[in-house]
Structure 1
C-alpha cells in the first residue's frame, strides 16, 4: 500500500509533506511539526521496514496526524502521492549513492560498467560515471519534488541543502571575510577530490533554484553544518558515525569543507521557522558558529579526555574566519542555537544509550566500558544529571502537570538538564510520562517537593541556573523565590495566569487588555473565585519579593490552556472543555478572554528564560476573544457534540485582538492557530478514551 495512517482528523489546513521523514533530521522535523499541531505526510523508503517507521509512529500525535508514504524520489508518481493534499513541502531527503545499490541486478550492472569504463576509457570517464550514478538521484529527486509541489498547487517549498554546497571556494572568496549565504562551492575542485556528496548537494540546489525561477515557485533553502545531536532513529547516520570515529582516534581530511556544527534540533526548528515565516527568502546558513576542524577536535578532547581524540597539530584552515553570528538571518527570525558543548554532550549521551560499541575501531575501551551505565538514587530525587548539557540546568516546579510536562519535554529537546518536581515520587501517574521522554535517562532528575516545605524546595533548586514556577500559591511561590536566591539563581520565570489580569472594572472602555491589567481582588473574593485570587496574590507577592531582594523575575500570564496532554489524565482546563463539549455552560464571563495552546505556553517560558533582556509580565494568548466566540467555534468544529450556544453576549468589555501577546510575538513566539489547538485537544482526548 502507498500510505499508513489517516490525516482526516488532523489540525485543520495545516498539512506539511516531509520527504526523508525517517532520517536523522527528518524524524526530528516530523516530531516538532506534530508538536506544533500540524498534520504531516512523511516519506520513507520502505513501509515494511520498522527501522524506518516505528520511531515515527511512536511520536505524540502520530496516531491521528501522521501519514507515512513509501516514496522513491526517482519515481514521480510516488512523489506526487505524498505531496498531494499538503499545503507545504519541506524537502529533506537526498539520495546519494556512493556504494552499489540495494538492487542486486543494478549492482551487477553498476560494477560491470565501472570495470569496463575504467579499462576502456580511463580515469576521466570513470569519474563521469561515478558523478552520474552518485548525483543524478539528488538532482532528479529534488526536481521531482518541486514539480509535484507545483502540480499540486503548492506555492512554497523549503529545501535542505548543506554547508558543503558553500565551501570550498579557493581564490575567489575575499580573505578575512566570514562565509555567508553568497558562497558557492567550487564544483570542479570537489569532483577532482571525488567528494560526490558535496557535488550532489550543489547540483541539486542549483537545479532547484533554476526550476523555481522558471516556474515561479517560492523556494527557501537551509544549509546546515555538520549535524550532531540526539537521534530519534534506531541507528546512527553518517555524521554521528563520523563523530564516533573521531572519538575513537581517527582523523579525516575534511579541512576543505568543514566550517562547524549544528544541533539536529536547531536544524528542525530552523526549517519550521522558514516554513512559517513566508517573508523568508534565499539561502540560510544554519550553524552554531563558524569554527575550524582543529577547534572541533580540541573541543572533543577537552570534553572527553578519556577518549583518544586526535589533536590536530597543523591548522590548514586559515581561510576559515571564525564567527558566532554567521547564521544571522536565522537568529533574526528567532532561532536560538544550542551551544556546541551541549550538542556534543547530548550526542554522546544518546550514542551511549543506543549504539553497540565497536570492537575494532571507534571509541576506546573507556568509552565502551561506560556504555549503558546509569545511576539511580531513590531518595528526594531520581536520576543523575551529571552527564547533562554542561551548565544548562533548569528547575521546573510542577513538572508532572499539563504545562510542566510539556515544558520538561521541550527543555530536554533543547539539551538542558532538568530538575523537575513532583508531589509523590512513588506515584507513576506523576513520574512515568516524564521518565519516558527523550533524554530523561541522562538529563532529568525528579524531586519530591512540597511547596510549603522550604527544606524540600532547596534540593530541587540547588544546582540549577534558572527556575520555571508552576502552580504557585503565595507561600509556595515565596518559598521557591527565597530558595532560588539562597542558591545563587539570579533569574526566575514564573507562571501566573490571565485570571490575575481580569476582571478590572476600571479599565478604559474600548482598550485592549494588556500587561498593565491587574484583576480586582475584592470583586474576585466577593464572587468566590479563589483560584483567581490565589494567582493574583501570589504574583503580587512575588513581584514585591523580587523588588526587595534584587531578583530578576519574569512572569507569563496564559489564557485558558488547551492542547494535547502528555499527562495520563486531564487537568482542570481540559475537564472544563470536556464539560462544555457535553453541553454545560459555565459563568466565566468575568474573566474569560481567550485560549492558548499548552505547547505555546511551554515554548514561551523557554523564550523568556533564554532571552535575559525580557522583563515584566507577558500575556500569553492566541487571541483575545469572548466566551460566545469560544462556544461558537467549538460548535462549528464539533457539530456532533451538544454544545450550548450562548444567546446573550455579556462581554462587551472584551475588545477582541490578534496581537495582545505582542511582546512574545516580538521575541519569536508563533502561536498555534486556535482551530488547530481545539482539534488536537479533542483528538488527544479521544485517543486516551475521554471522549
Structure 2
C-alpha cells in the first residue's frame, strides 16, 4: 500500500505525535485531513501548514471531541483514520471533565463518524503503555509486559492515576465499539515519547525531561521507558499500510534508569546543572521489561536512546552540495545529527546556500572544502565522526576525457576518503553511494523474467567496450572500496540506486532530473525501454538506515518503480495535461531493457518506496518552482 491519492484523517493534529504523523504521511504522498481544536490559533496550525506537501495535500478542520458529528467532515472520504486527539494531564482538578469524558466520549464520537464512511478501511488509535501495564500486581525486574496485558480500571481509580485511567477506558470502549460495528481497529501503545518537537509548545513528556535537567535537586529512583516520536509516527503508518497488522502494539525503544538518562544528557551538555542525587522514595516508575517482538513486525527499528549524545552523533557527508547528498544532509539534521559536510568551494553560494538554509544547519552543520584527488584532504572533516557517507563522485554521461573526468575522481576519490577514515578511531561505519550501474552490466542475460539483486556485479571490461564511462567509474570505485575495506577491517555498506528523481534542494540541475526535464521539454519520441527509478528522499533515508541499523551489511539495490517510458509519460500527462509530451516511441532505442530488480534486501532497511506518481509530481513541481520549467 502507498500514499499516492489516498486520503486519511488525523485527529488532534497539532499535538506532538500527531504533528510528526502528519509530516510523515505527507512525505509518503497521502492527502491528509487533519483536525485541530481552533483553526485560527497559529500555535495549532502554523507548524502544520509549513510542512513539505502541506500546500497541496493538507486540509485543516475544526473539531470538538465532546460534540457528536463534529468529525464527520474530516473523516468523510478517508480510507484511514488516525485518532490521536486526547488530553494529556497528570494532575487534573476535575478528572471526569478534563480527562475521562474527552478521552472516552471523544474516541466514541470519532468512531461514530467513521461508521458513516463507506471508504474506511482501518482506524489506528493512539493509546499508551499506561493502558497495558497497570494490572494491580507488583512489578518485578524479570517481568515482561506484552500486548496481552490490560490495565485494571479499578486499580487505576484507587491509585488516582487519572491519565492512565482515561487511556485505559478509552481503549476498552474503542475495542467494544469496533467489535460491535465491525471496524478494523489497531491500537498503538508507546511509553514516554521523546524526540524533537515540531509544534511550538511543550508537551507533557518533553516538559518532564526539561524539568529533570532544569535545575532539579534529585532524580526519581525509577526506570524511563521511552520511544522516539519518529518511531511512533512510523508505527502508526505501518499499522495502517500492512494488511496483516492487527490488535495492539507496545512501543518502547529503551528502558533505562533515570541515572543512565542523566549520564547521556551530561555527556552531551556538560555545562547543565543536572541532579546528582537519587530520590529513593520516589520509586513509582518500577523496573519491568516490555516486549518489542510484535512492534518489530511493523518494521520498526527503534532509535537508540544513546543517539541523544551529541558526541556520538557526528557524521560526515562528502559532496554535500549534490542532489542525493543535499537530501541526506537535510534528513540527518532532522534526525538530530551533527553533520560535517564537504563541498568543492565553501565560498560558492550555489554549493552552500541551500545547505545553510536547512533547519538545524546553524547549530549542527559544518562545511569543509575538500578535493577528491588530494590524499589527506578529507582528514579534517572525517575527524571525530562515527559515520562517513561518501557520495562525492562526478556524474557525466558524455565525458571528453573519461579517465580524468570520471574514472580517476571516482576511484581515487573513494580511496582517499577511505584512507582518511582509517585514521579515525571512533569510526563505526562507512556508507558509499554507488549505483545500479555497478550491478546490472554483467555477462548474465537481461530479459523480462530476470531478477537482478545484490549478488550481481557489473563487468568493467563490458563497460569499457560499450564506452559506458560513468558506469565504469562507479563499478571500479565500488570494487576498490570493497577491497580496501576488507584489507583494513572497515565496516562498509554500499547503496546502489537506480535513476534518482524527486524534488531538488540545490539550485542547479543534476543529470537524472535533467533526463525528466528533457523528456518533458518537447522531444518528438521517447525511448522504447524501461525506467528504473527511486525517490531521492527514499535514497537519503536508506543511507541513514544503513548506518543506524547495526545488522545492515553489504550492498542494497534501490529501485522503487520499474515502468516503461510510455507509462511515465501517461502519469505526467494526467498530472499536467497542458505539457507537450512525445506521443511515439523510438523503437530503435533498446538500451533500457526490461528486467526486474529485487526489493527484498532494501525492505530490511524499512524503506517504503515512494509511489512514482508522487515522485514525478514533486519533481515537476520542483522544476517549476526553480524556474527550469514553465507551464
Fold shared, TM-score > 0.5 on shorter chain: yes
CA contact (8 A) 2:140 2:286 kept: no
Output one character per residue of 1:417-439: Cα deviation in whole Å (capped at 9) or x when no partner: 22222222223333333333333
Matches within 5 A, 1:86-485: 86-95=78-87, 130-152=95-117, 153-171=119-137, 176-250=142-216, 259-293=224-258, 296=261, 306-309=272-275, 311-314=277-280, 317=283, 320-323=286-289, 326-343=291-308, 388=310, 390-472=311-393, 473-485=410-422
SS of alignment partner, residue 312 of structure 2: coil
Output one character per residue of 1:402-428: Cα deviation in whole Å (capped at 9) or x when no partner: 211221222233332222222222233
Distance change >3 Å, CA 210–CA 49, structure 1 → 2: same
Unaligned runs of 5+ in 2: 394-409
Distance change >3 Å, CA 151–CA 65, structure 1 → 2: same
Distance change >3 Å, CA 47–CA 568, structure 1 → 2: farther
Distance change >3 Å, CA 462–CA 314, structure 1 → 2: same
Matches within 5 A, 1:470-509: 470-472=391-393, 473-488=410-425, 489-504=427-442, 506-507=444-445, 509=447
CA contact (8 A) 2:128 2:191 kept: yes
SS of alignment partner, residue 454 of structure 1: coil
| C-alpha distance in structure 2 between counterparts of 1:317 and 1:19, whole Å | 34
Distance change >3 Å, CA 564–CA 18, structure 1 → 2: farther
Does 1:570 pair with 2:562? no
Cross-structure match for 1:686: 624
| C-alpha distance in structure 1 between counterparts of 2:98 and 2:493, whole Å | 56
Find the partner of 1:530 among 450, 469, 483: 469
| C-alpha distance in structure 2 between counterparts of 1:237 and 1:614, whole Å | 34
SS of alignment partner, residue 371 of structure 2: coil
| C-alpha distance in structure 2 between counterparts of 1:163 and 1:44, whole Å | 24
Does 1:666 pair with 2:631? no
SS of alignment partner, residue 341 of structure 2: strand
Q: How many residues align?
A: 607
RMSD: 3.2
| C-alpha distance in structure 1 between counterparts of 2:56 and 2:523, whole Å | 27
CA contact (8 A) 1:468 1:492 kept: yes
Find the partner of 2:552 among 609, 614, 630: 614
CA contact (8 A) 1:22 1:233 kept: yes
CA contact (8 A) 2:9 2:81 kept: yes
CA contact (8 A) 2:20 2:229 kept: yes
Cα drift, residue 560 of structure 1: 0.9
Does 1:605 pair with 2:526? no
CA contact (8 A) 2:225 2:255 kept: yes
Unaligned runs of 5+ in 1: 1-9, 101-126, 346-387
| C-alpha distance in structure 1 between counterparts of 2:375 and 2:158, whole Å | 67
SS of alignment partner, residue 624 of structure 1: strand
Find the partner of 1:48 among 32, 40, 49: 40
SS of alignment partner, residue 565 of structure 1: coil
CA contact (8 A) 2:219 2:258 kept: no
Find the partner of 1:640 among 560, 578, 597: 578
Cα drift, residue 598 of structure 1: 0.9
Distance change >3 Å, CA 653–CA 27, structure 1 → 2: closer
SS of alignment partner, residue 321 of structure 2: coil
Cross-structure match for 1:105: none
CA contact (8 A) 1:80 1:148 kept: yes
**Which structure has the highest strand share of the two?**
2
Output one character per residue of 1:633-690: Cα deviation in whole Å (capped at 9) or x when no partner: 4345443322223436565984454x61211113422212222222222233334444
Distance change >3 Å, CA 84–CA 61, structure 1 → 2: same
Find the partner of 2:483 among 509, 529, 544: 544
| C-alpha distance in structure 2 between counterparts of 1:594 and 1:292, whole Å | 48
SS of alignment partner, residue 35 of structure 2: strand
Moved more, 243-252 or 262-271: 243-252
Cα drift, residue 94 of structure 1: 0.9
CA contact (8 A) 2:438 2:472 kept: yes
Cross-structure match for 2:497: 558
Distance change >3 Å, CA 526–CA 640, structure 1 → 2: farther
Distance change >3 Å, CA 298–CA 634, structure 1 → 2: closer
CA contact (8 A) 1:491 1:551 kept: yes
TM-score for both structures, normalised by structure 1: 0.80
SS of alignment partner, residue 159 of structure 1: strand
Cα drift, residue 476 of structure 1: 1.1
SS of alignment partner, residue 144 of structure 2: coil
| C-alpha distance in structure 2 between counterparts of 1:400 and 1:42, whole Å | 35
| C-alpha distance in structure 2 between counterparts of 1:54 and 1:415, whole Å | 22
